[in-house]
Amino acid sequence: MKIDPDNIQIDPDEIQGESPYWYNNLRGMLGMLDQIIRFYGNDEEVLKEKAGNFIWKLTQFNLPFTTHEKGKPEVCGTFVKDSGEPGISHLVAQAYPRPQFMSLGSDDYEI
């Protein structure tokens, strides 16, 4: 049986749903973006709408998270993110954690 890619009856919005998998880890987030791009990449307006909707949900889901614990220096993510601020640095840190360092003048500090 040959599958016609132009006639696939799968809706990424239905797959996405409210599952935290798509929002709370880097692999899930990139997987969903990949699905949206593959399904809607031939239509600029639809792609912008679907990707924008997903990014909005991703942002809202991740508002409570932070890149640092209270009283400790920020050690993960690409940028400092406090709870209530938009950002996904804590997801990026899953794949690319920052090294521990003593101070900015330390020989152990790497960028």
Per-10-residue mean pLDDT, the chain, length 111: 54 66 88 93 95 94 80 64 86 72 51 48
Considering the domain architecture, whether residues 22 and 35 belong to the same structural domain is answered as yes
Asked if 48 and 77 sit in the same domain, the reply is no
pLDDT of residue 109: 46
In this predicted structure, what is the pLDDT of residue 67?
Answer: 76
Domain end call among 61, 80, 103 = 61
Instruction: For residues 70 and 83, state if they share a domain.
Output: yes
Note down the domain range covering 25.
Answer: 11-61
Which pLDDT does position 83 carry in this prediction?
A: 85
Total-model pTM: 0.69
pLDDT at position 82: 81
The one-letter amino acid code at 83 reads: S
Flag whether 97 is in a domain: yes
For residue 20, the model assigns a pLDDT of: 84
- Do residue 71 and residue 32 come from a single domain? no
Query: Do residue 27 and residue 55 come from a single domain?
Result: yes
Q: Do residues 84 and 54 both lie within one domain?
A: no
